[in-house]
Amino acid sequence: MTKSYFVTGTDTEVGKTVASMAIMQAVSKAGYSVVGYKPVAAGSEETEQGPMNSDAIRLRECSTVDVRYQDVNPCLLEAACSPHIAAEIENSSVDFALLSDGLRNIQTKADVTLVEGAGGWRVPVSYDSTLADWVGEEKLPVILVVGIKLGCLNHAYLTAEAIRRDGLEVVGWVANRINPGTEHYSDIVKTLEHHLKVPKLGEIPYMPSIKSRDLSGYIDIAPLGL
């Protein structure tokens, strides 16, 4: 069995990496091998092994197979901004062929590949294209992460609509409580369940040091056929 999913969010900083980690942990506990893939990352930090992106590091750590950093993140841009701006600063470009070659490579290493996007669905990778264009070429099923906050209903509706108009399937969604003070949390989630009309894979509560925790218990991967 080999399955791949693309994880997108309603915006930047809504918890795509947290949700991806939770799903990967749940997949692992179900007995499948899993690997994370961050095709494009904008924002790097210096490590003993060279520049790396913190989200890609997390995905690599949650992978159940041994992969190199470059396998997980083939396109690393230094500036922490929109990929098309970061690429322009470096006088480089985001090469879809490179992303696809990397995807083919990493898909051979595990039962499940979880591909995490950058920013929201329409994040630009050049002045003429978005990362969604590449996802469309690869025909990847999409998991939508909704950061529960004021305004997220509109963001979720528009994102799901855009994904479907691009000819792709939203196979599930995750509610991530990024703001513990958000009022009417349960009503917001209930509204999303009604409107999105796809399986809710789970709700991740707000908690400190969340990226260092086992989050598998908050995720149900059964709707993904796993």
Q: Is 130 annotated as a binding residue?
A: no
Question: 3-state secondary structure string, the chain?
Answer: CCEEEEEEECCCCCCHHHHHHHHHHHHHHCCCCEEEECCEEECCEEECCEEECHHHHHHHHHCCCCCCHHHHCCEEECCCCCHHHHHHHCCCCCCHHHHHHHHHHHHCCCCEEEEEEEEECCCECCCCCEHHHHHHHHCCCEEEEEECCCCHHHHHHHHHHHHHHCCCCEEEEEEECCCCCCCCHHHHHHHHHHHHCCCEEEEECCCCCHHHCCCHHHECCHHHCC
Q: Is 161 annotated as a binding residue?
A: no
Q: Is 118 annotated as a binding residue?
A: yes
CA 57 – CA 53 distance, rounded (Å): 6
Q: Is 125 annotated as a binding residue?
A: no
For residue 99, which of 148, 136, 154, 61 has the smallest C-alpha distance? 136
Q: Is 18 annotated as a binding residue?
A: yes
Cβ atoms of 171 and 142 within 8 Å: the answer is yes
Q: Is 176 annotated as a binding residue?
A: yes
Instruction: Provide the annotated active-site residues.
Output: 38
- Supply 13's token pair: 């900083």
Q: Is 55 annotated as a binding residue?
A: yes
Q: Is 15 annotated as a binding residue?
A: yes
Q: Is 72 annotated as a binding residue?
A: no
Q: Is 217 annotated as a binding residue?
A: no
- Supply 66's token pair: 């041994």
Q: Is 13 annotated as a binding residue?
A: yes
Q: Which residues are annotated as a binding site for ATP?
A: 13-18, 55, 116-119, 176-177
Q: Which residues are annotated as a binding site for Mg(2+)?
A: 17, 55, 116
